[in-house]
């Protein structure tokens, strides 16, 4: 069968049957098209172990990161599984091993540095109140930056929880701490616009407004603006490390685990599909191992 027709059928299957996002469809199309073009695949019989090996070698020689290489292979394996489901004889996906990826190293801030960062926005102007609310919300909820930007302002703040649709269209509940709720309330009370978005972009002259006029709201805030403000307050707090919004998600997870939360609960709160993704945090939060080291290491030394 024509491989391009099979590819389109598969991508439609991902979008309709598996309810994957348009972005996921686009990514899988790009990964698979790269393989099909490289190996000059015309039909399913051309997908051989040798063709896959040559493609993987090409990826490695182009110095593509191991993580990115794995995306290509995951997409190819998924495509082959789909074809097998349709009773089309193809190379077994089990014969294609995923690249061995080094364990991710998660960088987290010392707690005193985290507190300085969260307290860095000062003042009662709209920009400072917004920025304070953004930082507290990121740490309180563990939201991804795209999820934060997608929040709407009309929610039951007293209830302190909302449903968020994350990666893979997966729905989960996130919770606001008392500090986050207070920061959001102070910020929203200052807003005088009708914009639906929770967090908005503000005109650049907001620090120099005259006649007590509010800064101009120019629509929903974008991820790049959130990255910039986190970087700004990191430097303002005197933290030498580079801190990103996603790192505050890491802080959220490690804070829960250090506090005694179980891994499954943290998985649910982060919206991870696979618990192995959540396990990257355990090596820095294993309190028992720390106690063992403290109790038994170096006891013979004076």
Which of the residues are catalytic?
A: 144, 167, 246, 249, 272, 281
Residue 253's Cβ-count burial label (10 Å; 0-12, 13-18, 19+) is: buried
Distance, CA of 13 to CA of 23 (rounded, Å)? 14
Residue pair 28/14 in contact by the 8 Å Cβ criterion: yes
| Structural tokens at position 258 | 């250090």
Residue pair 241/128 in contact by the 8 Å Cβ criterion: no
Residue 105's nearest CA partner among 254, 267, 288, 273 is 254
| Structural tokens at position 22 | 């348009």
Task: Identify the H or E element spanning 80.
Answer: helix 66-85
Residue pair 152/95 in contact by the 8 Å Cβ criterion: no
């Amino acid at each position: 069968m024509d491989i391009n027709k099979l590819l389109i059928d598969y991508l439609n299957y991902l979008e309709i049957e598996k309810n994957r996002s348009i972005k996921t469809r686009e990514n899988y199309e790009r990964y698979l098209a790269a393989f099909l073009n490289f190996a000059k695949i015309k039909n399913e019989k051309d997908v051989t172990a040798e063709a896959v090996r040559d493609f993987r070698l090409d990826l490695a020689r182009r110095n593509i990161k191991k993580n990115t290489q794995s995306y290509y292979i995951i997409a190819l394996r998924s495509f082959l599984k789909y074809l097998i489901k349709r009773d089309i004889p193809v190379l077994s996906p089990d014969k294609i091993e995923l690249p061995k990826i080094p364990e991710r190293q998660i960088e987290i801030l010392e707690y005193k540095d985290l507190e300085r960062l969260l307290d860095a926005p000062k003042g009662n102007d709209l920009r400072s109140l917004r920025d304070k609310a953004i930082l507290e919300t990121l740490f309180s909820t563990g939201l991804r930056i795209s999820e934060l930007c997608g929040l709407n302002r009309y929610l039951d703040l007293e209830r302190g929880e909302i449903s968020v649709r994350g990666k893979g269209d997966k729905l989960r509940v996130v919770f606001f701490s008392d500090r986050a709720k207070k920061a959001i309330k102070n910020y929203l009370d200052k807003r005088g616009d009708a914009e639906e978005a929770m967090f908005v972009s503000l005109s650049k002259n907001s620090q120099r407004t005259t006649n007590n006029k509010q800064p101009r709201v120019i629509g929903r805030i974008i991820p790049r603006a959130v990255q910039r403000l986190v970087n700004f307050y990191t430097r303002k707090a005197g933290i030498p490390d580079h801190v990103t919004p996603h790192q505050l998600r890491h802080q959220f997870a490690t804070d829960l685990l250090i506090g005694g939360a179980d891994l499954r609960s943290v998985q649910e709160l982060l919206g991870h599909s696979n618990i192995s993704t959540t396990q990257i945090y355990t090596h820095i939060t294993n309190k028992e191992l720390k106690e063992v080291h403290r109790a038994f290491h170096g006891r013979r030394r004076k």
